[in-house]
Every structure is written in C-alpha cells, then in structure tokens.
Structure 1
Amino acid sequence: MNARNQRLCLLVGIIFILILSSCGSDTTTTGSKSSTGGGGTTGAKTHLSIMVGGLSKQIYLPNMLTKQLGFFDQEGLDVTLIDEASGQSSENSVLAGQVDAGSGSYNHTIELQAAGKQMQCVVQLDIAPGEAEMVSAKEAGSITSIKDLKGKNLGVTELGSGTQTLTIALLHNAGISQDQAHFLPVGAGDTFIAAMQQGRIDAGMTTEPTISRLLSSGVGKVLADLRTPQTTQAALNGSYPFICVFMKNDYVNSHKDITQKLVNAYVKTLKWMHTHTADEIAAKMPADYYAGNKALYVTALKSQLPIFSPDGNMPSDGPQSVYNIEKETNQAVQGKQIDLSTTFTNEFTSKAN
C-alpha cells in the first residue's frame, strides 16, 4: 500500500471514530417527570396536575397568576392547570388519583374525613369566600332578606359544592332548613346569568366577576355579601377560609419536597398580589377571563382583594369556625369525630414565609 492510500485509510478511520463518538455522547434527555412526582431524569422539572374549580373565577385567581408569573417554573415544577366546574369535582379527581392536587373550598377536607377519607389543605388562598347570594331583579321586590328564600329555587355551582354549603349556612342562620329550598346546579358566569334571566332560579350563590356582571346589567342584586372577611363574619357568625390547594395526606407525607416547592410558588404569588394593584394583577391574567369587559373585571377584583391570604397560612380560628357550620348544616358530618389538625397544615407555608 503506497503512502497516499495509507493516509486515505487513516483519514477514513478517524472520521469513523468521530461519528461513533458523537452518536454515543448524544444522551441529553428531555421531558418531565410523571404526575406522581417520582422518577424522571435528574434536572428535569417535576410535573404536577392541579384541577381548579373554575379557573376564570376570581376566587381561584392565584392558581393561574402563579403560572403567569412563572413561579411554578422557578420552583422546578411543570404544572398543568385543569379547569373544572367546581371544587367538588377537583376533590373527587384528587381522590381518584387522576390529578396530584385540587383547588377548592377548605370545608371539603372536613366532609371527606367524615366519610373516612383523608385530604388536607397545604396552602390557603382565600380567607373569605368572595361570594354573594344574588337575587334576581325580577324577585327583588319580594325577596329582601335570607328569610324570604324559603321555598325558592336557588342556584349553586354544583350540588355538594362550596356554594351550596354557604347557602345552607345562610339559610340555617335565618331559621330555614335546607329541605325548605330547592337547589339547582347552574355553574357560574354565562350559565348562572342565563338561569337568572330565564327565571329558572330566584336567587343564587356566585363569585366575581359574575356578581359585577349581574349588577352592571341590572339582572341581579346582592342579598348577602361574603366578599370581605368583615361581611363574611357578620353573615356567618364567624370566619370562613374558603379556597385552598388540597392534596391527599399520604401524598403530602411521602412527597414533602415537592409539596414544599408547590407551596413556595403559591406563597410568592400571594405576597406579589399584596404589593400590586388590581390593575396590575388583572394585566397578568388571560384576556378571556375579562368576559369582554376588562374595566368591570378590575372593579370586581378591587372589591375583594382583602379575601386573598397574605401568606397562605390557615387562620387560627378558621378550621373550628368552618367545622361549626358543618356540624350545624351537614348530616354527613354530624356525630362524626373529626381531627381538624389533619385537614390542613401550615408546615409548608411557615417554611415558605
């Protein structure tokens, strides 16, 4: 073999080795971990799915805002927010293992324990309901107080939802049992407004921005206001922490690192909210949340900013107050031994703060 052929063979050999080396070193892995938070590649984000009982409702605003602000990403979490009709749907999906966490009303954790199931609030988003019992303008002349709701058709998000619990509590305080009213599941937003316009409901419990839409259009009027901690205290004879993020107790105990990251993200959002105006907060939300009227959305948000927790902690008197209402109004809870300490935890919010 002459020198020229030797050099050619050597060059071909070098190229072949370089190609093999390049293929062998291409081991970069993409993608996220499983929704259970386990396994996955080192450095990859942990994927979590959270079902929210109405993403466009302002009481649930911290969920989407946390994603919009990038705080989930900062904590190494790849979070999918799933929109559902109510917090009760979220609760059922968490129990079934279809999602990792849910966002709904705190009272569900008490009701679940009465049924032998364990769920706990890991971060409290709202320290008051941010709801109102609205009466149809057509019925406002004859329905002037909660006592006048006896025998009426009352709208709630879903049967068994937090909106129904709140309505029952108001009725109870007025001396009316829940079987003396008729509850209809009508959702929120357009479906709630349509139900009132069509006369299918005489009154109903709903949230912002639906409340402000009813007021501005003249379709409804406020009968009982639960949009601030003060008005809630007066209407329910006690505090009522409402929307939170809940997870199964056994999941929290076995995934404390992931739970801490999740709570860190939410606490960052709550602190951010308390240092920014309603206009600045609204500007971060998806445009379709405004329902075609951003100014009205901002006005509604201003009226209920006080409901959002400043730090994510469960208020000290909250669990007992909510439990008292459950004992008085919910037959499924009456007579059951409830360990309130397992229905919530401030362990993660304390560290986040």
Structure 2
Amino acid sequence: MKIRKKQLCLLFGIILILVLSSCGSDASSSSNKSSTGGGGTTGAKTHLSIMVGGLSKQIYLPNMLTKQLGYFDQEGLDVTLIDEASGQSSEDSVLAGQVDAGSGSYNHTIELQAAGKQMECVVQLDIAPGEAEMVSAKEAGSIKSVKDLKGKNLGVTELGSGTQTLTIALLHNVGIAQSEAHFLPVGAGDTFIAAMQQGRIDAGMTTEPTISRLLSSGVGKVLTDLRTPQSTQTALNGSYPFICLFMKNDYVNSHKDVTQKLVNAYVKTLKWIHTHSAEEIADKMPTDYYAGNKTLYVTALKSQLAIFSPDGNMPSDGPQSVYNIEKETNQAVQGKQIDLKGTFTNEFTSKAN
C-alpha cells in the first residue's frame, strides 16, 4: 500500500511539473508575440527587401541614409537594400515579387497602369529629378542647346529608365522626335564618364556626383540643369517629382501596418536632411560613395539639396504634370485611361507627419 501511495505521489508530481512547464511556455510565447514589430520594440523584426536604382547616386540618398541613421531599426524593420543599375530594374523586380519595394522614378507607376499593372508611390523622396543633360567637352562647340541633340548619340542609365524619359521630354519640347536621336545605355559614374571620354556618346542624362566629376575633370559641361525644382519647372514646363518608393497596390492594401512603419522611417530621414548640412549628411554615407573625393561629393550635394522632399508627400501638381509629359512622349500611355489616384498615395506620409 505504501509503495502504491509513493507511486501515485510521484505520478502527481510529474503531471504538476508538465502543467507548470506548459503554462510557462505559453506565457513566453505570448510575451514574444507582443514584442514583435513596431518602433522601439525588442522582438523579431519584419524583414523587407528594397531594390534601389543606384545606391551611390545622390538622388537615391534617402534610402541608404535611412539605414545609416537606424530609422528602419527604430520602426522594427530589418531592411535589405539591393543595388541595381536603374529604377527600371527596380520596377521589374517589384512586379515579379522578387523584392517588397523599389526605389525609382514616379513616372513608372503611370506607365505600368497603362499596361494594366498596379503599383503606387507610398513616399516621395525627390520633388525634382536631380539630373542634368551633360554634353561632351569635345562636342560643346557644336551642341549649344537641346535643339542640337538631333541625330546625336545620347547616354542614359538604361533603356526605358527615368533618364531616357527626361531626355525624350526635353527633345519633345524643341520639336525633336524620339526616333531622331540614338539612345545608349551607359549606366552612371565610371561607365558614363568612360562612354563620354571614348566618344561613344555625345551627350547624356546623369546624376550627381557624376555631374560634378565630369565638370571638375573637364570631360563634360552642363547643357540642361534639372538639379533644382526651379530649373526643372523652366526646362520641362512644369514640376517633375522623380525618385520615390513604390510598392504593388495589393501589397500596400494588405500590409498597411508594415507600409506605415516603412514610410515613418523615410519621413524621419527627409526631415533630418532638411535640418543638417551637406557635410553632416555626407559624413553618414559609406565612404566608397565619395568616388575618392569627399569634397566634390559635398559640393555636388549642396547643389541639389532642394530636390529632397521636406515631408514625403506627393506635390499636388506633380502627378498631372508628369502625366502630361507621358501623354506627349510615350506611345504606350497615349489613349489610355489613367487614374492618377492609383499611382500614388499620401495616406501614410500624412500619418507619419
């Protein structure tokens, strides 16, 4: 009888330990769930991949700067930035579901809707292109205005990219058809400079710090400047919001909490940019972005700080202005019904601000 009583006590003890262990596991699991996501939390972070059309280009600067400042982490996001040649590549990767978001030119969202695909800008990073049509110093004597680009070899980062769209818009404004120029994809930075030095392109659309490198070396000269909102307004007869962060509409609608955290991080960065000097901004960037000359990098940044949005909102006249250019220059958009409200949203930036 005593042996049986000891066995029962032992069995009861084991059952009690198992019950308490189960309760502890549930409590731990509940605790882990409550600490996942959100700014300032310590649990597992939401992973996102973002493809950027040229991380070292200054027009894309808010992407890496947001990571460097730790704002993604503050929002409970583990973000991987993937470097690509142009915004065109970013767009393709977002559509294919290879990445969660892309950073490229806003006009891509209009072109995609014309093709029956839905993608929207969730935060506007640049309110002007931050680009310039550069002419080779060797050709500067004969190319003195956009009208002189007819029949010339013109460099763009990639065919179908925002740089090609901008070039076509400039040509259209002076009566030159797209077919009356020859476009060559030459990238940016060293590859663009080499193409101009070797005479493969007579002129081309590029960004900072490539612009300043061409100027300082004497290889190229500015033909048309799009590095401020004011000069852009003059050259294109309207505003032209350029680099943004875009995502597929259905992803945004089904992941509003994640999208909000992402936009919060970018808006913090845009506000940080407008309260710090070009030198302070440059100090936060990876040193290889300077292309061996930090002073030149800072000078280039000073020349175009005004392109960065102060709050991430889409400018009120921006979508219509960009659409007007697309209607005039892009056959794929002509004759198509475009709902501009489906190409961007200020829902998340309004809350972030």
Structure 1 distance, partners of 2:60, 2:203, is: 22
Structure 2 distance, partners of 1:174, 1:290, is: 36
Structure 2 distance, partners of 1:65, 1:250, is: 27
| Counterpart position of 2:5 | none
| Counterpart position of 1:172 | 172
Shift of 1:93: 0.2
- Whether 1:137 aligns to 2:119 is no
| Counterpart position of 1:110 | 110
Percentage of matched positions with identical amino acids: 92
| Counterpart position of 1:313 | 313
Structure 1 distance, partners of 2:245, 2:174, is: 31
| Counterpart position of 2:100 | 100
Structure 1 distance, partners of 2:199, 2:92, is: 31
One-letter amino acid of the structure 2 residue matched with residue 270 of structure 1:
L
| Counterpart position of 1:68 | 68
What SS class does the counterpart of residue 56 from structure 2 fall into? coil
One-letter amino acid of the structure 1 residue matched with residue 83 of structure 2:
D
Q: What whole-Å deviation, never above 9, does each CA across 1:135-165 have from its counterpart, x for those lacking one?
A: 0000000000000000000000000000000
| Counterpart position of 1:244 | 244
One-letter amino acid of the structure 2 residue matched with residue 160 of structure 1:
G
What pairs with 1:148-227 in structure 2 (closer than 5 Å)? 148-227=148-227
Structure 2 distance, partners of 1:264, 1:310, is: 13
What SS class does the counterpart of residue 102 from structure 2 fall into? strand
Structure 1 distance, partners of 2:157, 2:198, is: 17
Q: What whole-Å deviation, never above 9, does each CA across 1:185-243 have from its counterpart, x for those lacking one?
A: 00000000000000000000000000000000000000000000000000000000000
- Whether 1:327 aligns to 2:327 is yes
Shift of 1:304: 0.1
| Counterpart position of 2:10 | none
| Counterpart position of 2:3 | none
Shift of 1:44: 1.0
- What are the ranges of 5 or more consecutive residues in structure 2 without an aligned counterpart? 1-16
Shift of 1:105: 0.2
Structure 1 distance, partners of 2:287, 2:131, is: 22
Structure 1 distance, partners of 2:189, 2:112, is: 28
What SS class does the counterpart of residue 81 from structure 1 fall into? strand
Structure 1 distance, partners of 2:306, 2:351, is: 23
- Whether 1:281 aligns to 2:288 is no
What SS class does the counterpart of residue 88 from structure 2 fall into? helix
Structure 2 distance, partners of 1:300, 1:127, is: 17
| Counterpart position of 1:268 | 268
One-letter amino acid of the structure 2 residue matched with residue 156 of structure 1:
V
What SS class does the counterpart of residue 196 from structure 2 fall into? helix
| Counterpart position of 2:9 | none
Shift of 1:28: 8.2
TM-score, normalised relative to structure 2: 0.90
Structure 2 distance, partners of 1:43, 1:272, is: 26
Structure 1 distance, partners of 2:71, 2:298, is: 23
Structure 1 distance, partners of 2:138, 2:175, is: 24
| Counterpart position of 2:84 | 84
Structure 2 distance, partners of 1:43, 1:226, is: 44
Structure 2 distance, partners of 1:218, 1:28, is: 65
What SS class does the counterpart of residue 139 from structure 2 fall into? coil
Structure 1 distance, partners of 2:249, 2:134, is: 36
Structure 2 distance, partners of 1:124, 1:47, is: 22
Q: RMSD over aligned Cα, in angstroms?
A: 2.3
One-letter amino acid of the structure 1 residue matched with residue 204 of structure 2:
G
Structure 1 distance, partners of 2:338, 2:87, is: 21
What SS class does the counterpart of residue 163 from structure 1 fall into? helix
Q: What whole-Å deviation, never above 9, does each CA across 1:298-342 have from its counterpart, x for those lacking one?
A: 000000000000000000000000000000000000000000000
Structure 2 distance, partners of 1:154, 1:181, is: 7
Q: What whole-Å deviation, never above 9, does each CA across 1:91-145 have from its counterpart, x for those lacking one?
A: 0000000000000000000000000000000000000000000000000000000
**For this pair of structures, how many residues does the alignment match?**
329
Q: What whole-Å deviation, never above 9, does each CA across 1:5-54 have from its counterpart, x for those lacking one?
A: xxxxxxxxxxxx9xxx8xx97x989xxx9xxx9xxxx9310000000000
Structure 1 distance, partners of 2:61, 2:286, is: 11
Instruction: Check 1:50–1:150 CA distance in 2 against 1; reply closer, same or farther (3 A cut).
Output: same
Structure 2 distance, partners of 1:331, 1:342, is: 20
One-letter amino acid of the structure 1 residue matched with residue 93 of structure 2:
S
Structure 1 distance, partners of 2:174, 2:300, is: 28
One-letter amino acid of the structure 1 residue matched with residue 72 of structure 2:
F
One-letter amino acid of the structure 1 residue matched with residue 108 of structure 2:
H
| Counterpart position of 1:336 | 336
Structure 2 distance, partners of 1:136, 1:114, is: 36
Deviating above 2 A after TM superposition, structure 1's stretches of 4 or more consecutive aligned residues are none
TM-score, normalised relative to structure 1: 0.90
Structure 2 distance, partners of 1:245, 1:252, is: 12
Structure 2 distance, partners of 1:46, 1:174, is: 49
One-letter amino acid of the structure 2 residue matched with residue 208 of structure 1:
E
